[in-house]
Chains A and B, each alone.
Chain A
Amino acid sequence: MAFDFTGYETGSFYDEMFDASGQPHPHARMLYDRFRELSPDEVGRLRAEAEAALLNMGITFTVYKEESGIERIFPFDLLPRVVGAEEWTRLETGLKQRLMALNLFLKDIYHDQRIVKEGVLPRDLVESASGFCKRCSGWSPPRGIYTHVAGIDLVRDGEGEIRILEDNLRTPSGVSYVLENRNVLKRIFPRLFKTQKIRPVDDYPSKLLETLLHIAPQGVESPVVAVMTPGIYNSAYFEHSFLAREMGVQLVEGRDLVVDGGYVKMRTTRGLERVDVIYRRVDDDFMDPKAFREDSVLGVPGIMDAYMNGKVAIANAFGNGIADDKVIYAFVPAMIRFYLGEDPILPNVDTFVCHDPKQRQYVLANLDKLVVKSANESGGYGMLIGPHATQAEREDFARRIEAEPRTYIAQPTLQLSRVPTIVGDHFEGRHVDLRPYILYGEEIHVLPGGLTRVALKKGSLVVNSSQGGGSKDTWVLSGDDWGNGWGMVHAPSQSQTQGASGC
């Protein structure tokens, strides 16, 4: 018996691997053929191998319930999701366009606020947003860049249209899984990588370093870069450490840093040393107990002043929370038209803003059909999935919406696309999204790939790792005809062997 796709049903959903007639999409053909060669035993062995590799690499997140904490690997499915070259080109262009507009929005909102003055965005939505940073008004970050690292979540709806679900412009995580998932799959399916043109993702750390060096304070000859982490108990600590290692820079915690003479310095075995660029994975509120939350032990007192005086560059910029606010999201297509004079390439998911009385009325009348999200929560929390909710849950949300309309948006329940996923000894369709990573340095660079998150529970639409989600590798195929091997290089001479005379 082969571990193949016999009996696999695409159902009424768009399937990332098969078309409606049950044939694999052209870009998924090779993968389809390879998997059909595998026996169930082989698949079992490869899965175990992949999981052992992830566990031993320590690519785990910790569930803190017992004193020691239980370590789990982020569940990983062997079958990758494949994106064709043409589709990727469109995505890439659309993502660049969106990020450019979001960056212009941040610049505008902290300076002239033209977008408000010209009536595109209601003023009270801006001022009431929890991510708005009052101190940032009138101030410009180095080279005018706010969103150095972005992760933008995409979903494909029932019609096959790819839509933007969410922008993450503060400290998006997950890119280390993209790189490590790829490493694991390369080990497991070397042949596929030789025969298919899968675009590599492993230059991400060097691109990230370039992005960071681009904003280093002027006149510093060899800038010192550091990744700042909340510490080993943060669920993304693995990633912070991974990125620091891959970039060859220091990984620091708040307690390693001190502001001295206006500059940010780290405590080393040889005394204090200056840091010029910080890629921080600590939220705004926790960065500086003097400027924000006094109780923060993760931050560095006085770092905000050093930042605003240009003594240290920090990525991402402070105040980005206004731009990835779930309510502001609804206005991004309008921003693209406003700042760039272009039509958005990638559409939003239709969104009802409860702040607006008319839209609110519609939402309240249709709670059984809609997904409601709170602007102040993430990770799949604070959400109502109307069609799956009980009457009581819907009533509860109706009360919350009426109490705080500013906080809520609603969207139609999407028929997210599915990808075949290993369940026991066969494949079943599971819903997925896709988070590509985008770097904004001298130019905008989209990593060809991304984190495909998969809702492992049957029928579930929630892909977050905290809610039973897993991940898949994402293969972006290359359209051009580039070779993926090195040219042959002749070694200057053979190695010496014992007893052979060299002359």
Chain B
Amino acid sequence: MLSRVAESLYWMARYVERAENVARFLDVTNHLSLDLPGTTESLWEALIAVMADEKPYAERFDAISEANVLHFMVCDTANPNSLISCLRAARENARQVREVITNEMWLQLNTLFHLVRTAADQGLPSVTEALYREIIMGSHLFFGLMSGCLPHNEAYQFAQLGRFIERADKTSRIIDVKYFILLPRPSDVGSPIDANQWRAVLKSVSAYETYWKRRARIEPALVIEFLLAERDFPRAVLFCLIRSRDYLQRVLSDMPEAREREESLEIASRLVHELTATPVNELIGRGLHEYIDQMQRDLNALHSGIAERFF
């Protein structure tokens, strides 16, 4: 497969997955803000923090407000992480590989793009819960068409690789933000507001129902453990890391000449190992924020390794 094509597939999937995660974050923040009395600025601020976009946001807006954040994260073409930018980038990449993906995948991505573009053109009144749902569902339809109709060949593996690296990154970010930013005062721990927020975090990754089937109560350490290390839950970080490693291995196994050291594979394996071998309580004890920070640096290194080897 052409290197350029592999790269486009990888990024196409990353951007669709990113759009889905952003839509999830927006959806759940919206819900949370309805449950909270008084000001909700801190919630919207946290959203900017999830994406680590504090700097570009501050360059464009003076104050945190729901309207500003929504504009920034949905309609703002200058923000590369906004919904419109993610879907545009996904589509530009898909356009590069139209002859590789199926026609239905292209059609679906294009339809999704036009949906968001129309909403973004119309501005905030049209940015609603229904839009977020359509993006989340639309992303699944896209990946469903990919899994169900595209041969599970190299093209598919590169796309899946991008998708799971992206998802690992986003789930880890949301844990970090909830734990590190939304928890300013120790007295809030265990309060109804706190429980509400943890519930919202679970909902944002569609984990709420599964969580209650497996855990008896909402407790920060339990939620964190679930979101980090629930091996069979598809949005848990560990699940995503395992998938990333496995797809990488598959891509490498097809290579005509094996190299002695495959740096990217070593990083992926190490990430999986760390999370499997260390109890989550211990990670929290050592400093969860530091751990997640390091994981995100490792994910970046994983990406660089892949780019260097294949693209």
Interface residues of A (CB under 8 A from B): 55-58, 67-68, 232, 237, 241-242, 244-245, 249-253, 255-256, 266-271
Q: In the docked arrangement, what's the CA distance between A242 and B100, Å? A: 10
Q: In the docked arrangement, what's the CA distance between A11 and B18, Å? A: 58
Beyond A68-B77, A245-B99, 8 additional contacts (C-beta under 8 Å) are: A56-B110, A57-B110, A232-B96, A241-B95, A245-B100, A255-B4, A267-B3, A269-B1
Q: How far is the CB of B268 from chain A (nearest CB, A)?
A: 17
Q: In the docked arrangement, what's the CA distance between A232 and B111, Å? A: 19
Q: In the docked arrangement, what's the CA distance between A210 and B21, Å? A: 46
Q: List 9 A-B pairs, minimum CB-CB distance, nearest first.
A: A245-B99, A244-B99, A241-B98, A269-B310, A269-B6, A267-B3, A58-B110, A251-B99, A269-B1
Q: In the docked arrangement, what's the CA distance between A58 and B154, Å? A: 25
Residue B173 is within 8 A (CB to CB) of chain A in the complex: no
**Which B residues between 3 and 22 are near A, CB-CB below 8 angstroms?**
3-4, 6
Q: Is the CB of B256 within 8 A of A267?
A: no
On whether A252 and B2 interact (CB within 8 A), knowing A56-B107, A67-B77, the answer reads: yes
Q: How far is the CB of B100 from chain A (nearest CB, A)?
A: 8
Q: How far is the CB of A71 from chain B (nearest CB, A)?
A: 9
Which residues of chain B come closer than 8 Å to A251, judged between CB atoms? Answer: 98-99
Which A-chain residue is minimally distant from B8 (CB atoms)? Answer: A232
Q: Please, could you name 5 A-B residue pairs with CB atoms under 8 Å apart, sorted by A?
A: A56-B107, A242-B99, A245-B98, A251-B98, A269-B255
Looking at A67, A68, A269, the one whose CB has the most chain B CB atoms below 10 A away is A269
Q: How far is the CB of B111 from chain A (nearest CB, A)?
A: 5
Q: Is the CB of A256 within 8 A of B2?
A: yes
Which residues of chain A come closer than 8 Å to B2, judged between CB atoms? Answer: 250, 252, 256, 266-269
Which residues of chain B come closer than 8 Å to A58, judged between CB atoms? Answer: 95, 98, 106-107, 110
Which residues of chain B come closer than 8 Å to A249, judged between CB atoms? Answer: 99
Q: In the docked arrangement, what's the CA distance between A268 and B3, Å? A: 5
Q: How large is the interface on B (under 10, 10 to 19, 20 to 34, 35 or more residues)?
A: 20 to 34
On whether A56 and B114 interact (CB within 8 A), knowing A241-B99, A269-B310, A271-B256, the answer reads: yes
Which residues of chain A come closer than 8 Å to B219, judged between CB atoms? Answer: none
Which B-chain residue is minimally distant from A66 (CB atoms)? Answer: B77
Q: In the docked arrangement, what's the CA distance between A255 and B158, Å? A: 21
| Interface residue from A68, A237, A252, A255 paired with B88 (Cβ < 8 Å) | A68
| Interface residue from B88, B95, B114 paired with A232 (Cβ < 8 Å) | B95
Which A-chain residue is minimally distant from B254 (CB atoms)? Answer: A270
Q: In the docked arrangement, what's the CA distance between A253 and B251, Å? A: 24
Which residues of chain B come closer than 8 Å to A269, judged between CB atoms? Answer: 1-3, 6, 154, 158, 251, 255, 310
Which B-chain residue is minimally distant from A257 (CB atoms)? Answer: B2
On whether A253 and B4 interact (CB within 8 A), knowing A67-B77, A269-B154, the answer reads: yes
Which residues of chain A come closer than 8 Å to B110, judged between CB atoms? Answer: 55-58
Q: How far is the CB of B76 from chain A (nearest CB, A)?
A: 12
Which residues of chain A come closer than 8 Å to B1, judged between CB atoms? Answer: 268-270
Q: In the docked arrangement, what's the CA distance between A73 and B96, Å? A: 19
**Which B residues between 146 and 166 are near A, CB-CB below 8 angstroms?**
154, 158
Q: In the docked arrangement, what's the CA distance between A250 and B96, Å? A: 11
Q: In the docked arrangement, what's the CA distance between A268 and B111, Å? A: 30
Which residues of chain A come closer than 8 Å to B99, judged between CB atoms? Answer: 241-242, 244-245, 249-251
Residue B92 is within 8 A (CB to CB) of chain A in the complex: yes
Which residues of chain A come closer than 8 Å to B158, judged between CB atoms? Answer: 269
Q: How far is the CB of A367 from chain B (nearest CB, A)?
A: 45
**Which B residues between 236 and 267 are near A, CB-CB below 8 angstroms?**
251, 254-256
Which residues of chain B come closer than 8 Å to A242, judged between CB atoms? Answer: 98-99
Q: How far is the CB of A231 from chain B (nearest CB, A)?
A: 9
Which residues of chain B come closer than 8 Å to A68, judged between CB atoms? Answer: 77, 88
Q: Is the CB of B4 within 8 A of A56?
A: no
Which residues of chain A come closer than 8 Å to B92, judged between CB atoms? Answer: 232
Which residues of chain B come closer than 8 Å to A56, judged between CB atoms? Answer: 107, 110-111, 114
Which B-chain residue is minimally distant from A226 (CB atoms)? Answer: B2
Q: How far is the CB of A375 from chain B (nearest CB, A)?
A: 34
Which residues of chain B come closer than 8 Å to A57, judged between CB atoms? Answer: 103, 106-107, 110
Which residues of chain A come closer than 8 Å to B100, judged between CB atoms? Answer: 245
Q: How far is the CB of B96 from chain A (nearest CB, A)?
A: 6
Q: Is the CB of A237 within 8 A of B4?
A: no
Q: Is the CB of A270 within 8 A of B4?
A: no
Q: In the docked arrangement, what's the CA distance between A79 and B114, Å? A: 27
Which B-chain residue is minimally distant from A237 (CB atoms)? Answer: B95
**Which B residues between 281 and 304 are near A, CB-CB below 8 angstroms?**
none
Q: Is the CB of B4 within 8 A of A256?
A: yes
Looking at B1, B98, B107, the one whose CB has the most chain A CB atoms below 10 A away is B98
Which A-chain residue is minimally distant from B108 (CB atoms)? Answer: A56
Which residues of chain A come closer than 8 Å to B107, judged between CB atoms? Answer: 56-58
**Which B residues between 195 and 253 are near A, CB-CB below 8 angstroms?**
251
Q: In the docked arrangement, what's the CA distance between A269 and B107, Å? A: 27
Q: In the docked arrangement, what's the CA distance between A467 and B88, Å? A: 28
Q: In the docked arrangement, what's the CA distance between A67 and B154, Å? A: 34
Q: In the docked arrangement, what's the CA distance between A56 and B109, Å? A: 9
Q: How far is the CB of A453 from chain B (nearest CB, A)?
A: 24
Q: How far is the CB of B147 from chain A (nearest CB, A)?
A: 20
